[in-house]
């Protein structure tokens, strides 16, 4: 065991605090990573506050992790000491079910092992990336291309893959019209990736405040949905809608924007059930879908794609003592577009 510095939530209602946690010994197939940066995802906040169910405390969150390999187990073949690597939302899966065997461990039928707040194979609760080190099975460690700076690479491990996977699966590309609903951490990556794939991208945001950013990220246009006539004017327009909003929204109004055989994919995760009229789906043979992160193979493909197309998240690097303040700013959508923690600041001075 190794004691490492971390920032943890002591309970659902208290601020996160500096602490230490134990990491397991490096097993045969494990990789010990010195974490350089960890992104702050909205899911981190939902998890520590118990919004998605009760969890055990203290809990360290963070599933947008990048750093370098410090040590590898004797049977490790995929990674070497000194490699630039990343870890995303999962650290293991059953490896035996139909979906795992098909290479889609993100859809493991027994549930993939989350990077934090999940029961690990040794029975302990997984602890995430707001820490200086992590030990992960080599199969769940990604290679981070040299051309992507460490701090900007971090959000690719959740926000990047969560938007890349549905864009690739539903074939966003030349000749396709894609709408991105919401311009936050996920939304801004959806815009950059969809544009790089060659699709014509429209951002649907509540206001015009982020219009200049949308256009700079590759969108053809940015429309403010506060005015209800905007959505009415866009009916039957899009092949694909990526909804990144995790608050309830009028599904019928957005589904009507799909043209023949169009699909609306939810990657935002509102906790409540949302009403929907089946008649809206009849028109244009529309599909309403969901998508959950991406497989390890697809995550590597996304990292290589981002390097090849020179795209990276827009980040604001913060020190660990600003994590609680950052949470409040994420909740009020006051971030452009992802906070990333410099994990060197987790080590107490002196
Ligand atoms: Zn996330
Ligand atoms: Zn499985």
Instruction: Report the pLDDT value the prediction gives residue 216, as an integer from 0 to 100.
Output: 98
Distance 323 CA to ligand 1 centre (A): 16
Distance 296 CA to ligand 2 centre (A): 13
Distance 268 CA to ligand 1 centre (A): 10
Distance 116 CA to ligand 2 centre (A): 18
Instruction: Report the pLDDT value the prediction gives residue 228, as an integer from 0 to 100.
Output: 85
* Nearest one of 156, 34, 37, 38 to 83, comparing CA atoms: 34
Assess whether pLDDT exceeds 90 at residue 271: no
Instruction: Report the pLDDT value the prediction gives residue 247, as an integer from 0 to 100.
Output: 87
What structural domains does the chain harbor?
2-158+314-346 (3.90.180.10), 160-290 (3.40.50.720)
Distance 90 CA to ligand 2 centre (A): 12
Supply φ then ψ for residue 227, to 5 degrees.
-90, 110
Summarised one tens digit per residue, pLDDT across range 63-79 is: 999 999 999 999 999 99
Assess whether pLDDT exceeds 80 at residue 350: no
CA distances from 29 to 79, 117, 138 (A): 10, 22, 6
pTM of the complete model: 0.96
Summarised one tens digit per residue, pLDDT across range 145-184 is: 999 999 999 999 999 999 999 999 999 999 999 999 999 9
Instruction: Report the pLDDT value the prediction gives residue 330, as an integer from 0 to 100.
Output: 94
Instruction: Report the pLDDT value the prediction gives residue 269, as an integer from 0 to 100.
Output: 84
**Average pLDDT in the chain:** 96
Instruction: Report the pLDDT value the prediction gives residue 17, as an integer from 0 to 100.
Output: 97
Distance 95 CA to ligand 2 centre (A): 5
Distance 62 CA to ligand 2 centre (A): 23
Distance 301 CA to ligand 2 centre (A): 21
Shortest-distance ligand to the CA of residue 189: 1
Structure tokens at 158: 């959740």
Summarised one tens digit per residue, pLDDT across range 216-251 is: 999 999 999 999 899 999 999 999 999 999 889 999
Instruction: Report the pLDDT value the prediction gives residue 121, as an integer from 0 to 100.
Output: 81
Which residues are CB-neighbours of 350 under 8 A, at least 6 positions away? Answer: none
Instruction: Report the pLDDT value the prediction gives residue 239, as an integer from 0 to 100.
Output: 98
Distance 349 CA to ligand 2 centre (A): 43
Instruction: Report the pLDDT value the prediction gives residue 270, as an integer from 0 to 100.
Output: 85
């Amino acid at each position: 065991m190794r004691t490492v510095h971390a920032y943890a939530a002591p309970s659902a209602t208290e601020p996160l605090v500096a602490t230490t946690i134990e990491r397991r010994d490096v097993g045969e197939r494990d990789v010990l990573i010195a974490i350089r940066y960890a992104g702050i995802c909205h899911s981190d906040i939902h998890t520590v506050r118990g919004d998605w169910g009760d969890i055990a405390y203290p809990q360290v969150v963070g599933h947008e992790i990048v750093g370098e390999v410090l040590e590898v187990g004797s049977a490790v073949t995929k990674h070497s000491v000194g490699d630039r690597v990343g870890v995303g939302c999962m650290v293991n899966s059953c490896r035996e079910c139909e979906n795992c065997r098909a290479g889609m461990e993100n859809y493991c039928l027994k549930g993939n092992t989350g990077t934090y707040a999940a029961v690990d194979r040794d029975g302990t609760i997984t602890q995430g990336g707001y820490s200086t080190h992590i030990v992960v099975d080599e199969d769940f460690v990604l290679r981070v291309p040299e051309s992507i700076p460490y701090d900007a690479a971090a959000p690719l491990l959740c926000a990047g893959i969560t938007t890349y996977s549905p864009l690739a699966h539903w074939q966003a590309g030349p000749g396709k019209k894609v709408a991105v609903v919401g311009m936050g951490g996920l939304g801004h990556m959806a815009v950059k990736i969809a544009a790089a794939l060659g699709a014509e991208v429209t951002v649907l945001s509540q206001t015009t405040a982020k219009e200049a950013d949308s256009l700079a990220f590759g969108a053809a246009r940015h429309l403010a949905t506060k005015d209800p006539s905007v959505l009415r004017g866009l009916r039957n327009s899009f092949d694909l809608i990526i909804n990144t909003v995790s608050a309830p929204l009028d599904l019928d109004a957005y589904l009507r924007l799909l043209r023949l055989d169009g699909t609306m994919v939810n990657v935002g995760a509102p906790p409540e059930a949302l009403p929907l009229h089946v008649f809206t789906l009849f028109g244009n043979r529309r599909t309403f879908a969901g998508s959950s992160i991406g497989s390890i193979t697809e995550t590597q493909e996304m990292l290589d794609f981002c390097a090849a197309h020179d795209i990276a998240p827009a980040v604001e690097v913060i020190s660990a003592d600003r994590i609680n303040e950052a949470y409040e700013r994420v909740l009020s959508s006051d971030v452009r577009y992802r906070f990333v923690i410099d994990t060197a600041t987790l080590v107490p001075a002196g």
